[in-house]
Amino acid sequence: MSSEPKSLTEDAWEKLFEKYDILHQIDVNGEFRISAAQIKEFREPRLMAKFDHTINLPKIFADNHLAILPITRGDYVISHFDAYHKFESQNNPITRVSLPNYIQSLNTNNIPSETIALNCAVAAGIISQFLNDEALVATVSGRMGSGSFDFNINDLNTHTPREVSVNNSQIEIDAAYEGINGLAIFEAKRDISEDFLVRQLYYPFRVWRNRVTKQVRPIFLVYSNGIYRLYEYSFSDPNNYNSIVLVNQKNYSIEDTTIEITDIQSVLGNSKVEDEPQIPFPQADSFERVINICELLDGKELTRNDITEKYAFDARQTDYYTDAARYLNLLERRKDGRTTIYTLSETGKNILSLSYKQRQLAFCKLILSHRAFADTLRKYFECGSMPTTSDIIQIMKNANLYSVESRSTFNRRSSTIKGWINWILGLINTE
């Protein structure tokens, strides 16, 4: 797939595991405590102990079902922790809201950071509507000490609770809004993922549960492609890290999300089929994540390792999704020595600057300028259902695809066609 070397983080952790015989120590003691000073022998600790999603875990962690948690300002514990939680289904409808007319400094087509996403959500009334509280005030945020607390967390090997003691670890809160009856603590992200590190909600929850008498409400906000997805969780047993329960989930948009079937049919009818590029035909089933990787590159350039280490992609997915975006002329790739660097193309920049509806239709136009996708969607409209895998493979064989030859490759790539066509059809929302 790629000739690039393993990441600096992967390499450093392998050396640490070897030097301190960490796997053996965990086998004997159930855990291994490691200091920031020990980690720093090989790499900066802040780059070595932040894995927001399971997919970000170094291979030696993933292969051995391990996770790492901070326990003091300069110490961590590694064990078979059940540290992550999968996001629940996001099939709820999108609620339309709007910014007040007097707001001029927020551009809903340009949300470059989690902070701006939160500010837009507040200004549009999303936060107060979601929390059902009109008396909200922004309060604590940023980095702070955790104080002391103990908790139980499931051990994936023994299937029994393991006790962890925290003493003045550093926590970070993206935003907190306090109302009459509750304090809502927010973790905000701009990258789409399947799961998240529960610690991001649990540590702040434990800290502020001991400091206020009112209810503490942990909230996860994910912003991507004009949609604000909010998840409110609770911990049914405050002393149990794994007692996390979804309380409420809603989706919001500040822009008009109404797209009718005639809009899609018009794009299909007017799309001009282009010659296939000499780029691998996509193997990237989630078109939302193709969009998301473009958003993450908006206004910056990132190396392959940057994308893999900072966001919810492993190395293989980074290759698949950047290739998919390049296939649509949304990204450009260049080499600096052995380092691969990605930037947003002019086409990508122009599309991301559009309003929600026009942006989605522009993405549809790019997809449907490729014959395999356009013919599959035409067949869907003719039959009223998704074509079979065999039908899609035949469509692909008629489309003169670049470097797709074996039956197994056709089969794998057909799932991308299904995924992208389902994304197009899922845009239809007549409110």
Helices (H), 298-370: 304-310, 315-327, 346-352, 356-368
Q: Which of 36, 48, 44, 63 is nearest to 10 (CA)?
A: 48
Mean pLDDT of 138-163: 96
At a CB cut-off of 8 Å and minimum separation 6, what does 192 contact? 222, 224, 286, 288, 289, 292, 312
- Residue 3 has a pLDDT of 45
Average of pLDDT values for 420-427?
A: 96
Bridge-partner residues for 285, per DSSP? Answer: none
Whether the per-residue pLDDT at 2 is higher than 60: the answer is no
Q: Quick check: is 176 in a domain?
A: yes
* Sign, Cα dihedral of 262, 266, 269, 272: negative
Confidence of residue 5 (pLDDT cuts 50, 70, 90): low
Residue 275 sits in which domain range?
261-426
8 Å CB contact between 84 and 241: no
Contact predicate 271/368, CB 8 Å: yes
Tokens of 36: 């920031």
Q: Looking at the domain assignment, is residue 173 inside a domain?
A: yes
Residues 281 and 192 in one domain: no
DSSP calls for 155-179: BTTT-SEEEEEEES-EEEESEEEE-
Whether residues 74 and 92 fall in one domain = no
Please indicate, yes or no, if residue 3 is contained in any of the structural domains: no
Cβ neighbourhood burial of 49 (10 Å; 0-12, 13-18, 19+): middle
3-state secondary structure of 182: strand
Evaluate if residue 179 carries a pLDDT over 70: yes
In the chain, pLDDT over 90 holds for what percent of residues? 86
pLDDT at residue 283 is higher than 60: yes
Asked whether residue 274 falls in the same domain as residue 345, the answer is yes
Does 323 reside within a domain? Answer: yes
Determine the Cα–Cα distance for residues 66 and 83; give it in Å rounded to an integer. 9
237, 253, 269 - which closes a domain = 253
Is 266 in the same domain as 409? Answer: yes
Is the pLDDT at 253 greater than 60? The verdict is yes
Q: What CATH code is carried by the domain that includes residue 320?
A: 1.10.10.10
Could you tell me if residue 182 is inside a domain?
A: yes
Q: Over 90: is that where the pLDDT of 162 sits? A: yes
Q: Is residue 292 part of a domain?
A: yes
| 284-337 pLDDT, tens digit each | 999 999 999 999 999 899 999 889 888 888 888 999 999 999 999 999 999 998
Residue 1 pLDDT: 41
Query: 25, 51, 80 — which closes off a domain?
Result: 80
Assess if residue 2 is contained within a domain: no
Residue-wise pLDDT tens digits, 74-120: 999 999 999 999 999 877 899 999 999 999 999 998 899 999 999 99
Do 231 and 159 lie in one domain? The reply is yes
394 pLDDT above the threshold of 70: yes
Q: How far apart are CA 374 and CA 381, in angstroms?
A: 11
Closest by CA to 126, choosing from 101, 105, 98, is 98
> Cα–Cα distance between 59 and 72 in angstroms, integer?
25
Q: Check whether 4 has a pLDDT greater than 60.
A: no
**What mean pLDDT is predicted for residues 186-209?**
97
- Cα 99 to Cα 94: distance, rounded to the nearest angstrom: 16
Angle between helices 371-383 and 407-426 (to 10 degrees): 60
Residue 234 maps to a domain: yes
Per-residue confidence band for 404, with pLDDT thresholds at 50, 70 and 90: confident
Instruction: For residues 150 and 91, state if they share a domain.
Output: yes
Read off the pLDDT of each residue in 150-155 and give the average, rounded to a whole number.
98
Determine the average pLDDT of the residues in 212-236.
Answer: 97
Beta-strand relationship, 170-173 and 161-167: unpaired
Identify the DSSP state of 429.
B
Alpha-carbon distances of 17 from 66, 73, 172, rounded to whole Å = 12, 21, 28
Residues 240 and 313 in one domain: no
Considering the entire predicted model, what is its pTM?
A: 0.91
Are 157 and 184 part of one and the same domain? yes
pLDDT band for position 25 (cuts 50, 70, 90): very high
Q: What's the token pair of residue 221?
A: 């906000």
* Residue 178 pLDDT level (bands cut at 50, 70, 90): very high
Which of 61, 80, 99 finishes a domain? 80
**Mean per-residue pLDDT of the chain:** 94
Q: Indicate whether 249 and 288 sit together in one domain.
A: no
Tell whether 224 and 278 lie within a shared domain: no
Q: How far is 277 from 399, CA to CA, in rounded Å?
A: 12
Structural domain count of the chain: 3
Residues 57 and 101 in one domain: no
111 and 221 fall within a common domain = yes
Q: What is the model's pLDDT at position 116?
A: 96
User: Whole-angstrom Cα distance, residue 188 to residue 115?
Assistant: 8
